[in-house]
Amino acid sequence: MVNPVILNIDLPDGSKRNLIIEPVLERSADGIKNTGIYKLYKSAIDNQSTLFTEKQEIDEINNDIPDEINPDYLGNITIDNHGKWIYKGDLLSHNEQRQLAEYIQNHK
């Protein structure tokens, strides 16, 4: 996965949580590669139509608000080649983390 996606996570009460999954990319001699780290943000469903119409972030200077003070930042999840994940954050339940990890593994 090299482009951000929006994922609807199922919550125990039957509602959904809309999340943006943004892969952290790095440039190498072989081109742009996924690092296995994915930043997670809250999403507003009504903003989906124009959310990712700009150039890839890796090609631009990023003057946006830092993740540490961004109220929409939920942390990041790292997934290794064996399917194990590490979530760095404190806002997502284990079940939400599992759903994210499964989605990312199936869409690499």
- Number of domain units in the chain: 1
pLDDT tens digits, residue range 59-102?
556 567 888 888 889 999 999 888 899 999 989 999 999 999 99
Q: Which pTM does this prediction carry?
A: 0.78
Q: What is the mean pLDDT of the chain?
A: 83
Convert 43-71 to b/e letters by CB count within 10 Å (16 or more is b): beeeeeeeeeeeeebeeeeeeeeeeeeee
Predicted pLDDT at 20: 93
Q: Label residue 36 left, alpha or beta by phi (over 0 means left) and psi (-120 to 50 means alpha).
A: left
Q: What percent of the chain has pLDDT over 90?
A: 42
Its domain, for residue 102, covers 5-106
Predicted pLDDT at 80: 86
